[in-house]
Amino acid sequence: MLERPKLFSTVKEFWLTLSVFLVLFAIRLSFVYLQYQTFIVKPFYFTYVDVLQQYQKEKKGNRYTVLRVYSSELDLDFFTRTYRKDNLLNKRIRLKLFPSREMSFTEYLRTSFISSRVNRVLDKSDSLKYSLLRQIESQHTEPIITSFYQAIFLAKPLPKELRKQVSKLGVSHIIALSGMHLAILWGVLFFLFRPLYRVFQQRYFPYRFDLIDIGLLILLILGWFVWFVDAPASLLRSYGMMVVGWIVLILGVELVSFALLATIVMLLLFLFPKMVLSLAFWFSLLGVFYLFLIIKSFVGVNKYLVTLIIAFGMFVLMSPIVHIVFPTTSTLQLYSPLLSLGFSLFYPVSIFCHIVGVGGVFDEWLLALFRLESEVVNRELDIVLGVGYLLLSFGAVYFKRLFYLLFLVALGFMGWIFLI
């Protein structure tokens, strides 16, 4: 069998391309820095924002409401506070912002805090997204289940209680919309559209290729979906990879390629420079990196066996990386690979159930899952050891023996966090 051509014919071509992207990214980031300087020097701004999260806090006896909001006009995702007590979730409000000159550039790029005053509250009950959120809510009696489905369908942020349980279960990658969800949706849509396409193809255009025509249609649908859910970083990265992957498949170029992965990352950072400080973006990227590493290391193995290897291998290899930032450890996390495998079937079935109005069919099982108890301890990986693990991971790209060493190190780390 002929091998697919590589994206870059030589290592020199790859590094030259990467160098050009780095220069372009630096230029792009300099323009963002100018926007930042303009933002902090003005005494105030008026902008409309969508309320993503709302929760109560207390400081020195004073209770207030913290809002996480997004301004599409300023392209800012930030926290602010108000002393209003009414429910502002899923509302659109007009804020008067008071930027601080002490805000650093990195704070501007991240989800930071900005003082504000609420000037006006607008109802969004006539919007399609709000209508879908209400339809999901109407099919469930438990708020925690409603929040779960709204998160996996429409990327609504999780409430604090559910976020803790998700962390305890080690299934944050299932809840946060990412490549897994897009891949499942792609497969379902391709399965649904292909029979209808074949009818017209055989009669009117037998010379056409279904991967091109159906693939383009699905990409347009998924592109709208990414925009509709406000393009979270992990989902945006996944969609970018899907678009490039589709083009690469059509051109016949090697798809599972670390050079291709690096190129896509640079393209996305050039287009969306604020993702450079997004943990969701980098975690999802490392997930794809380890996925490629596993696939490269098990070429020729039965595809069903590879599916199991990927599910468990990803869990093992990502554990040290996750514990650099999120030290929460629970024995319930050992179920994560099985839950990931089951989610591939659960996701499309649950979408169908909500469409036909029986979305509550899995509620009892989900409640039982979310109510599982387990001792929680903190096992944090030192940043120096984390960097060493990453360097070993990059070395495993070139040497298969290093991959086996990497896997043993990750297994040893898991033994430490779960058994000691």
Could you read off the pLDDT of 312-333 as tens digits, one per residue?
999 999 999 989 988 888 888 8
Domain extent at residue 51: 42-124
Per-residue pLDDT at 3: 62
Two structure tokens written together for 371: 């109510």
Two structure tokens written together for 262: 């690096």
Report yes or no on 325 lying in a domain: no
Report yes or no on 261 lying in a domain: no
Report yes or no on 351 lying in a domain: no
Per-residue pLDDT at 265: 86
Per-residue pLDDT at 126: 65
For tokens 């701004």, the residue is: 45
Report yes or no on 376 lying in a domain: no
Q: The CATH number of the domain where 87 resides is what? A: 2.40.50
Is pLDDT at 1 greater than 50 in this prediction?
Answer: no
| Cα gap 32→341, rounded to integer Å | 40
pTM greater than 0.75 (yes/no): yes
Cα distances from 16 to residues 4, 244, 260, in angstroms, run 22, 20, 14
Question: Highest-confidence range of 82-96, 266-280, 357-371, by mean pLDDT?
Answer: 357-371
Report yes or no on 46 lying in a domain: yes
Mean pLDDT of 215-242: 87
Report yes or no on 26 lying in a domain: no
Report yes or no on 198 lying in a domain: no
Report yes or no on 22 lying in a domain: no
Closest-CA residue to 386 (of 327, 313, 309): 327
Mean pLDDT of 232-255: 81
Look at the chain and report how many structural domains it folds into.
Answer: 1
Q: What is the pLDDT of residues 4-59, one digit of tens each?
A: 677 777 888 888 988 999 999 999 999 999 999 999 998 888 999 888 888 888 87
Helix, strand, coil share of the chain (percent; to 5): 65, 15, 25
Other C-beta atoms within 10 Å of 276: how many? 16
Q: What is the pLDDT of residues 251-274, one digit of tens each?
A: 777 777 888 888 888 888 888 888
Is pLDDT at 193 greater than 70 in this prediction?
Answer: yes
